[in-house]
Chains A and B, each alone.
Chain A
Amino acid sequence: MSSHASTDQLTGRIGRSWSGRRRWPLVSATGGAVVTAAVLLPVIFLIVQAQQSGWNQVHHLLLRHSTAVLLWNSVRLAVACTLLCAVLGVGAAWLVERTDVPMRRMWAVLLVLPLGIPDFVVGFGWISIDPALHGYLAAVMIMTLSLYPLVYLPVASAMANVDASLEESARSLGLSPLRSFLRVTLRQVWPAVLGGCLLVTLGLLAEFGAFEIVQYQTFTVEIFTEFKLGFDAAAACALSLVLVLISVAVLGGELALSGRGRVFRAGPGAARAGTRTRLGRWRVPSLAALGALAGLALGVPVGSLVYWLTQGNSSTLPSTSILAAAGHTAAYSAAAAGIATVLAIPVCTLSIRHRNRLTILIERLSYLPMALPGLVIALGLVAFSVRHAFSLYQSSFELIVAYAILFLPLAVVGVRSAMAQASPRLEEVGRSLGSGPAEVFRRITLPLIAPGLGAAFALVFISSSTELTATLLLRPTGVNTLATQFWTYTTDFSYGAAAPYAGLMVLISAVPAYLLSRRMRTISRIGQGA
């Protein structure tokens, strides 16, 4: 079995072993440092910029009456929308996943699809039907209809996976179906509900386009106006800091709430699907409710889009400009998706494979952009480039970086789940079979996390291609993306001309949104089996 040659090789290589071992974590560490810097940079420059106008001024600005109005507007909208989304999302998820409602597969797809329609396109859909629509109630309705899938999607997949034996145990311990739903099922999916609500609230705080359309003043709208129309960068940055504080408070609140309840599954083995609740005479009302939800959330925007597409005067649509816009959108989005996905790899490698306080902190920081509205990140980047790198100001590169930072959390989520499922045991076996760390990464880790990388890329690509607010601020002069061109036409009330751009955006994002809703289910199933 043994040979002298191999023994000699063994001893001869000891001296070289150090460099080989140390080099690889260095790659991850560098990646982690880049991510941390990129995420913190916009916030730091917001503070710098706000400070420039003097704290007195900032103080004055924040204490004026209109700030209180903005705060009240943002809060009452966030509370109403989040509650409505929670009720609609959980209710719809329960009907589809836990009852015998007819045509479940169709509902499962239809209820998710509104996620693929950008909020400002939903706003456009409603306002083009009824131009008088505006104010608080219009904002609540439009945002609820476009954001409820953020609750529906995670809750539905959690409900599909609730171990039936838990509900059955509850029933055998004497609980009625309703009480066992409230005390067992709802408890199990509670983290999914909270997570969905968090996304809804953060989405509301970041939204600009839809509110501008229905003329509802929130922090984000006001910041945009101050910066674009008032040319007051310092005021915009000061207001942005308030927005950041609100978002971070929301994030902290969610962490505190979700930290308490934990979901365990007793014993190994896959969860069993339970028996579905029979709706009986509630069948027709349930169907009607699902139909109404899908009709309002999906039917109205798509319907009005189709209407304006067929009305569209071909002369208002120079086909070259839509091609150019589509080309820019695709190029920027693909570049951003590539960067974000590549950066997510070291973040996840560090936090999963080299877990310690520092690497966990890096991972948490990479989620920070989720709490930062696109507008805030854009403003931070503007402040940075104006001061230190003017050549970057309104360059394609800066826009791509903004997208990459803004949607980094999506990439991290996608890569993280794949990386967590790729057992470190496999990498160790690879090492013991003679492959160095880099080779193990190429031959084992990369193939294993490839689906996760694909999902991450797709998520960032979709989100970038429909991004409006940061794009309006950062796009190179004269360059239009689908979103900005759509916006220009909409604000000119040229709905027919705007419709093709919206249609293209919906196509770009609806197909992956559909695929994603199916994939999410498969992932959670596989995860259960392992």
Chain B
Amino acid sequence: MSRLAVSGLWKSYGEQPVLRGVELEVPAGSLTSVLGLSGCGKTTLLRAIAGFERAERGQISLAGAVLDDGRTYVPPERRRVGYVPQEGALFPHLTVAGNVGFGLSRAERRGKTVPEMLEMVGISSLAGRLPHQLSGGEQQRVALARALARRPEALLLDEPFSSLDATLRTRVREEVHSLLREQGVTTVLVTHDQEEALSLADSVAVLRDGAIVQQGAPAELYERPADERLARFLGAVNVLAASFHGGAAQTPLGSLELRGPLTSDAEQGLVLLRPEQLEVRALNGNSESGVDGVVGRIELCRYYGHDALLHIRAEQADGSELLLARVGGDQALPVGTRVTVRGRGSVTALD
């Protein structure tokens, strides 16, 4: 097993720095996802690890050996780092078997490796086809088999599923995931899709403006994001004013347990509450007395089938507060319904 580590990596194009001191840790055999918006530098990071771009400062190392530290530089062909680009980038002049065997020696190309690889990704029958005769999903599988055929120390996937349509994407994603699990390859997956990053990866690193904002397990990032911007990037969120009192936060939605210790001594602050942490109940009649939490009216209901997102306008003094609540699809309420909203679970305080 090989561990991939990037530390203090800088890279600019002309005057414009693209990577500003990236720190990334990919434990041996894990799948780590680099998540970021387009233009944040995630492809550049991947290309630097693959060896297509040279580092200006910082270090990239694999299994303890330095690949690039601004002085020594190992060219891509000696790195043993597999690379699956967007759209697959299959060699158009070679057959599927020719593509998969490209990185092997002449003797190996005639051996069992190619058929084994094709079988592994489930496209044995396509060995003689040319790339333009394959569907998008098949092309991705060939690209993956081609990269894995050389038994690389690490594998880099650059938005490998983004060119597939929604149904196919889910399926190919699942297959690739279980395949990588089986092989135990140290993998870096670059994506702009939060759902993909959270659901596939052992560890997610969020890249923003050329630096990693936070790296951690998917649940850790989702529940305890480093800042509000990151919280919103990972999904819808409610930011509420709260006063802190011994391990608990007093919010308009009730008293909620605080996750982790506070970083400052402030008694007032903001806390994050995900929409699925809001309990929504329709108000029957006008009996508002004794109601715990906030009373509001449903302004908008986005129905997705498996769940629904409710926009609730609170009837408070200022009347401007908008709350987002996620409920099961069967519990979607019509617009205009008066409801009470309460929080549940624990909350994270924003610094």
Min C-beta distance of A523 to chain B, whole Å: 15
Give the contacting residue for B146; candidates A6, A433, A447; CB below 8 A. A433
A448 touches B92 (CB 8 A): yes
**B76 on the A face (CB < 8 A):** yes
Question: Please, which residue of chain B has its CB at the minimum distance from the CB of A436?
Answer: B77
**Contact A1 to B1, CB < 8 A, known contacts A433-B102, A433-B103:** yes
Report the bound CA distance from A21 to B54 in whole Å: 12
Give the contacting residue for A426; candidates B66, B74, B89; CB below 8 A. B89
**Contact A2 to B74, CB < 8 A, known contacts A423-B89, A425-B85:** no
**A69 on the B face (CB < 8 A):** no
A1 touches B183 (CB 8 A): yes
A428 touches B80 (CB 8 A): no
A20 touches B76 (CB 8 A): no
Please report B residues at the A interface, Cβ cutoff 8 Å: 1-2, 28-29, 47, 50-52, 62-66, 72-83, 85, 89, 91-93, 102-103, 146-147, 150-151, 153, 183-186
A431 touches B75 (CB 8 A): yes
**A265 on the B face (CB < 8 A):** no
Question: Please, which residue of chain B has its CB at the minimum distance from the CB of A11?
Answer: B65
21 A-B contacts (beta carbon < 8 Å): A1-B151, A1-B186, A2-B63, A7-B64, A10-B62, A11-B65, A14-B72, A17-B74, A425-B89, A426-B91, A429-B91, A430-B91, A431-B51, A432-B52, A432-B77, A432-B147, A433-B103, A434-B77, A434-B103, A443-B102, A444-B91
- Enumerate the 9 nearest inter-chain pairs by beta-carbon distance, A residue then B residue, closest first: A433-B103, A431-B76, A432-B83, A447-B93, A425-B89, A2-B2, A11-B65, A434-B103, A432-B76
Q: Mark A2-22, 1 if CB is under 8 A from B, else 0.
A: 100011011101100110110
A429 touches B85 (CB 8 A): yes
Min C-beta distance of B76 to chain A, whole Å: 4
Min C-beta distance of A447 to chain B, whole Å: 4
**Contact A1 to B153, CB < 8 A, known contacts A431-B75, A434-B77:** yes
Report the bound CA distance from A21 to B150 in whole Å: 22
**Contact A2 to B75, CB < 8 A, known contacts A432-B51, A444-B91:** no
A2 touches B77 (CB 8 A): no
Q: Inside 8 A of A426's CB, which chain B residues have their CB? A: 89, 91-92
Give the contacting residue for A434; candidates B1, B52, B150; CB below 8 A. B150
Majority SS at the chain A contact face: helix
Q: Inside 8 A of A428's CB, which chain B residues have their CB? A: 47, 50, 52, 76, 83, 85
**A435 on the B face (CB < 8 A):** yes
Report the bound CA distance from A447 to B83 in whole Å: 22
Q: Inside 8 A of B150's CB, which chain A residues have their CB? A: 433-434
Q: Inside 8 A of B72's CB, which chain A residues have their CB? A: 14, 17
Question: Please, which residue of chain A has its CB at the minimum distance from the CB of B184?
Answer: A1
Report the bound CA distance from A373 to B52 in whole Å: 43
A2 touches B50 (CB 8 A): no
Q: Inside 8 A of A434's CB, which chain B residues have their CB? A: 77-78, 103, 150
Question: Please, which residue of chain A has its CB at the minimum distance from the CB of B65?
Answer: A11
Question: Please, which residue of chain B has its CB at the minimum distance from the CB of A18?
Answer: B73
Report the bound CA distance from A437 to B31 in whole Å: 30
Give the contacting residue for B75; candidates A20, A444, A448; CB below 8 A. A20
Q: Inside 8 A of B185's CB, which chain A residues have their CB? A: 1
Please report A residues at the B interface, Cβ cutoff 8 Å: 1-2, 6-7, 9-11, 13-14, 17-18, 20-21, 423, 425-426, 428-436, 443-444, 447-448
Q: Inside 8 A of A436's CB, which chain B residues have their CB? A: 75, 77
Min C-beta distance of A10 to chain B, whole Å: 5
Report the bound CA distance from A447 to B184 in whole Å: 35
B2 touches A7 (CB 8 A): yes
Q: Inside 8 A of B89's CB, which chain A residues have their CB? A: 423, 425-426, 429
B50 touches A430 (CB 8 A): no
Report the bound CA distance from A443 to B146 in whole Å: 15
A430 touches B102 (CB 8 A): yes
Report the bound CA distance from A428 to B143 in whole Å: 13
Q: Inside 8 A of B83's CB, which chain A residues have their CB? A: 428-429, 432
Q: Inside 8 A of A6's CB, which chain B residues have their CB? A: 80, 153
A14 touches B74 (CB 8 A): yes
Report the bound CA distance from A425 to B75 in whole Å: 16
Q: Inside 8 A of B51's CB, which chain A residues have their CB? A: 431-432
B75 touches A21 (CB 8 A): yes
Q: Inside 8 A of B79's CB, which chain A residues have their CB? A: 10, 432
Report the bound CA distance from A250 to B183 in whole Å: 63
Q: Inside 8 A of B186's CB, which chain A residues have their CB? A: 1
A10 touches B103 (CB 8 A): no
B78 touches A13 (CB 8 A): yes
Min C-beta distance of B235 to chain A, whole Å: 29
**Contact A1 to B91, CB < 8 A, known contacts A10-B79, A14-B72, A431-B77:** no
**For B47, B74, B146, which residue has the most chain A Cβ atoms within 10 angstroms?**
B74
Report the bound CA distance from A9 to B151 in whole Å: 14
Min C-beta distance of A429 to chain B, whole Å: 5
Question: Please, which residue of chain B has its CB at the minimum distance from the CB of A15?
Answer: B72
A435 touches B103 (CB 8 A): yes
B93 touches A448 (CB 8 A): yes
Give the contacting residue for A435; candidates B63, B74, B77, B85; CB below 8 A. B77
Min C-beta distance of B313 to chain A, whole Å: 39
Question: Please, which residue of chain A has its CB at the minimum distance from the CB of B156?
Answer: A432
Report the bound CA distance from A294 to B72 in whole Å: 65
**For B29, B64, B89, which residue has the most chain A Cβ atoms within 10 angstroms?**
B89
Q: Inside 8 A of B103's CB, which chain A residues have their CB? A: 433-435
Min C-beta distance of B41 to chain A, whole Å: 18
Report the bound CA distance from A21 to B75 in whole Å: 7
**For A1, A425, A436, which residue has the most chain B Cβ atoms within 10 angstroms?**
A1
Q: Inside 8 A of A1's CB, which chain B residues have their CB? A: 1-2, 29, 151, 153, 183-186
Question: Please, which residue of chain B has its CB at the minimum distance from the CB of A439?
Answer: B77
Min C-beta distance of B92 to chain A, whole Å: 7
Q: Inside 8 A of A447's CB, which chain B residues have their CB? A: 93
Given contacts A10-B62, A10-B63, could you give 11 more A-B pairs where the C-beta distance is less than 8 Å?
A1-B29, A1-B186, A10-B78, A17-B72, A17-B75, A428-B47, A431-B75, A431-B76, A432-B81, A433-B150, A436-B77
Q: Inside 8 A of A20's CB, which chain B residues have their CB? A: 75
Give the contacting residue for A2; candidates B1, B52, B91, B92; CB below 8 A. B1
Question: Please, which residue of chain A has its CB at the minimum distance from the CB of B86?
Answer: A425
Q: Inside 8 A of B81's CB, which chain A residues have their CB? A: 432
Min C-beta distance of A47 to chain B, whole Å: 37
Min C-beta distance of A527 to chain B, whole Å: 14
Question: Please, which residue of chain B has its CB at the minimum distance from the CB of A444?
Answer: B91
Question: Please, which residue of chain A has its CB at the minimum distance from the CB of B1?
Answer: A2
Report the bound CA distance from A360 to B65 in whole Å: 38
Question: Please, which residue of chain B has its CB at the minimum distance from the CB of A447?
Answer: B93
Question: Please, which residue of chain A has its CB at the minimum distance from the CB of B98?
Answer: A443
Q: Inside 8 A of B64's CB, which chain A residues have their CB? A: 7
Q: Inside 8 A of A21's CB, which chain B residues have their CB? A: 73, 75
Report the bound CA distance from A458 to B111 in whole Å: 41
